[in-house]
Amino acid sequence: MDIFQLTAVELGQKIKKKEISVVEAVQKFMERIEAIEQDVNSFVTIDKEGALAQAEAVQKQIDAGELTGPLAGVPVAVKDNLCIEGQLTTCSSKILGNFKPTFTSEAVLNLQRAGAVIVGKTNMDEFAMGSTTETSYFGPTKNPHNLAHVPGGSSGGSCAAVVAGEVPYALGSDTGGSIRQPSSFCGVVGIKPTYGTVSRYGLIAYGSSLDQIGPIAKDVTDCATILEAIASHDEKDSTSVLREDYDFTAALKDDVKGMKIGIPKDYFGEGLDAEVKAAIQKAVEVLERKGAIVETFDLGLVKYAIPAYYVIASAEASSNLERFDGVKYGYRTEEYDGLHNMYKKSRSEGFGAEVKRRIMLGSFVLSSGYYDAYYLKALRTKALIKAEFDKAFAKYDVIIGPAAPTTAPELGKSLSDPLKMYLGDIYTISLNLAGLPGMSVPVGTDSKGLPIGMQIIGDCFQEKKMIRAAYTYECATNKEHETIAAMSRKEA
């Protein structure tokens, strides 16, 4: 078996048993990246030299018995909105095109403490605003299963890198579905944890009340293992939560007997692709045969999640992105007349169209005279949506539905109608509003061979139930849907 088909945990075991050295592993993945990256464009930055230096250092620590964890020596790619000291961190934006942070994000530090080797920074929608990775200043990432299609977004580079076998696993971030939707489109497993589980320190903010960092990998075991490594209580993030449990791998049990699964009728209505619907229903039947109790129910308020989200996320984005002003870091326009003109020109030339669109909307809904009617109305709607989920989780252990209404669209077909693109987030977005954990698990492909993802939603702090359901499904289906992309076009 080729090394790039191994899961992160399997590779970690081989490294531990000295079947392969960390340097050899990194070199193999670099060869893979060099062979296919021009087709996929998963990365903004590939740090070969740095990765090999890290590999040597990590190998020494493994040999000295200082690093014994499951991820020691395993290469990883990190979404380009996570700061790493001294390493280019662009958010796939022109305005941060030359930014090298002076500190490292807590999630990445946690990975480094576990012995991870960071091979590069992955492409994304600019400032994580988008669902296709096409708004990147550095060009779109392609879906490794079919290069004419998008990988989803905004963590499209991370998901594509994993399914193309360029890295065993990656970190992404999820503000409205940005881990789960591209995981669904690429056929990988991705988890958005409960809000506050992974420190946001060093994550360049988009919508601070919604953003969460999470793992993207080939299987459920990897994701649980990575989440266990990156989750921590951090006093540098005031919204970080001290959880009662961090032992997510304890939930890797092949058992859903008696587990109550709620299927929201509203997630299977108009707009859902027939092939996606059939694949999710089939997957739910698998869990039912394993002893889960499945019941359909009315979730309610589903159609209000997207408008509420775009008010809240745009409002927070307009505030968070004020810091990009051409003074402290990033792009500054060439010619200007005074300070304010410098701000305006730098920002207008530095930000792309989608980012400007959201900053404008956010500035409007926060402006005097509109704040109550739009911003507070959206926050009240959020309270109602959370209450709907509370009601559902009083009855069910997990909720299951699709991660996205369709499989990956073709490149170039999404950006011309933003509202239509936003509607693609309908099943993922409400979780961010309610702070809930969710994950996407591959459950099949459509007639074009494009992956379909099942979304499992847990109550706050109930990742373990979600992981148990996903793991049980994986065992029952023998991981048949979790294959990496053939990337055969290149060799053909």
Partner 1 sequence: MANVISDETIEYVGILAKLELSGAEKENAKQDMEKMLDYIDTLNELDTAGIEPMSHVFPVNNVFREDVVTNGDGHEAALANAPKQKNNSFEVPKTIG
Distance (Å, rounded) from C-alpha 341 to C-alpha 168?
46
Contact status: 330 vs partner 1 (CB under 8 A): yes
Q: Among 87, 398, 79, which residue's Cα sits nearest to residue 213? A: 79
SS3 assignment for 269-286: CCCCCHHHHHHHHHHHHH
Order of strands across the sheet with 189-192? 43-46, 117-122, 75-79, 169-174, 212-217, 189-192, 438-445, 451-458, 398-402, 260-264, 293-297
What is the pattern of x (binds partner 1, CB under 8 A) and - over residues 102-121?
x-------------------
Bin 66: left if φ > 0, else alpha if -120 < ψ < 50, else beta. Answer: alpha
302 near partner 1 (CB under 8 A): no
User: Which residue's entry shows tokens 């005279």?
Assistant: 369
- Number of chain residues interacting with partner 1 (CB under 8 A): 68
Among 285, 291, 327, 412, binds partner 1 (CB under 8 A): 327
Token code pair at residue 295 = 């019941």
Cα separation, 346 vs 332, whole angstroms: 5
Of the pair 262, 352, the CB lying nearest partner 1 is at: 352
Sole binder of partner 1 in the list 225, 381, 414, 440 (CB under 8 A): 381
DSSP string, 302-359: GGGHHHHHHHHHHHHHHHHGGG-SSSSSS---SS-SSHHHHHHHHHHHHS-HHHHHHH
Look at residues 441, 426, 440 and name the one whose alpha carbon lies nearest to residue 385. Answer: 426
Taking CB under 8 A as the binding criterion, the range among 64-72, 99-107, 182-190, 465-473 that sits at the site for partner 1 is 99-107
CB 234 within 8 A of CB 197: no
Options 51-59, 144-152, 233-241, 438-446: segment touching partner 1 (CB under 8 A): 233-241
Shortest spacing between CB 251 and partner 1, in angstroms: 22
Q: Which of 150, 203, 359, 400 binds partner 1 (CB under 8 A)?
A: 359
Residue given tokens 């989750």 in the structure block: 231
The interface region with partner 1, picked from 112-120, 218-226, 268-276, 351-359 by CB under 8 A, is 351-359
Which residue of 127, 310, 427, 473 would you call a contact of partner 1, by CB under 8 A?
310
From the candidates 92, 105, 154, 173, which is the catalytic residue?
154
Active site residue 79: yes
Taking residues 407 to 426 in sequence order and writing x for each that binds partner 1 by CB under 8 A, - otherwise, the string is -----------xx-------
Residues that bind partner 1 (CB under 8 A): 98-100, 102, 195-196, 209, 235, 238-239, 241, 301, 303-304, 306-308, 310-311, 318, 322, 325-332, 336, 338-345, 347-348, 351, 356-357, 359-367, 374, 376-384, 386, 418-419, 434-435, 460
What amino acid positions are annotated as catalytic residues?
79, 154, 178
